[in-house]
Amino acid sequence: MPGFLDYFFSVNFAIGAGITLALTLLSMFLGIVGGLALALIKTSRIRALQAPTDLYIWLFRGTPILLQLIFIFNALPQMGLRFSAFTSAVIALSLNESAYMAEIIRAGIESVDKGQRSAARVLGLRDGQIMRHVVLPQAMRLIIPPTGNQFIGMLKMSALASVIAVQDLLLRAQRIASANFDYIDTLIAAAAWYLILTTIFTYGQRVLERRMDVTRRKRPEMSAAVGEAR
């Protein structure tokens, strides 16, 4: 009977972890791109797109991700749209993630002082340049911490894909568990893989946060400033 370490180091589990990681990274990437697009619309003055964007966010935040997943995998084929299990999972997870990322990025953009935009406008920068070179880099400080949380959440949420038979870490663990009737060692091995991945993400998040720290540097204390003027 194989033990916890045998499962943990097995090719089967490693591939499962790889699929989980791929699912997470792809869905997060697309979720961030989609969320950025939605956030840019929400913070823009394009009136016609406000209502559809609100509707999208309302819909995807207001229904269970599991329902969305099953809908894309099972209901869409009935309308003639068929995707593989993995693709279905990526679509569902990234559509859902976009709605959350939109709110995170919007909050970050709105946290940047209006004066920054005024200064950039007067200097002649175009709207796109202002967003790219002035607003977004400063919004990152507020966007990164919750995005790190979203990454970790996504890693765990991706396990839902096992219900539509994506061969991810959890599905593989469950299959071996029932084949060997060893739920304890297999599930602990899977948990260990999840923990390793979330720990790496957490570390990456901290490194990024530290690199974004420049805008947090405080102005020297008043006494120092006065001393300098003398």
Q: Which amino acid makes up residue 158?
A: S
* 138 contributes a contact to other proteins by CB under 8 A: yes
CA distance 172 to 16: 6
* 129 contributes a contact to other proteins by CB under 8 A: yes
* 46 contributes a contact to other proteins by CB under 8 A: no
Please give the backbone phi and psi of residue 51, each rounded to the nearest 5 degrees, phi first.
-65, -45
Question: Which of residues 61 and 133 has its CB atom nearest to other proteins in the complex?
Answer: 133
Instruction: Select from 25, 43, 137, 182 the one that contacts other proteins (CB under 8 A).
Output: 137
Stretch that binds other proteins, among 27-35, 46-54, 130-138, 190-198 (CB under 8 A): 130-138
* 1 contributes a contact to other proteins by CB under 8 A: no
Gap between the terminal Cα atoms of the chain: 79
* 47 contributes a contact to other proteins by CB under 8 A: no
Question: Which of residues 134 and 157 has its CB atom nearest to other proteins in the complex?
Answer: 134
State the nearest-atom distance from the C-beta of 210 to other proteins, in Å. Answer: 14
CA distance 7 to 16: 11
CA distance 93 to 164: 13
* 219 contributes a contact to other proteins by CB under 8 A: yes
Question: Which of residues 141 and 175 has its CB atom nearest to other proteins in the complex?
Answer: 141
* 218 contributes a contact to other proteins by CB under 8 A: yes
CA distance 32 to 140: 12
Please work out the total of residues on this chain that contact other proteins, with binding judged by CB under 8 A: 32
* 142 contributes a contact to other proteins by CB under 8 A: no
Sole residue written with tokens 């097995």: 10
What the block records as the tokens of 75 is: 């209901």
Instruction: Select from 62, 80, 214, 223 the one that contacts other proteins (CB under 8 A).
Output: 214
CA distance 92 to 26: 11
State the nearest-atom distance from the C-beta of 228 to other proteins, in Å. Answer: 6
Instruction: Select from 102, 134, 171, 190 the one that contacts other proteins (CB under 8 A).
Output: 134
SS3 189: helix
Neighbours of 111 (CB within 10 A): 13
Contact indicator for 39, 106 with CB cutoff of 8 Å: yes
Interface residue list for other proteins (CB under 8 A): 113, 115-116, 118-127, 129, 133-134, 137-138, 214-220, 222, 224-226, 228-230
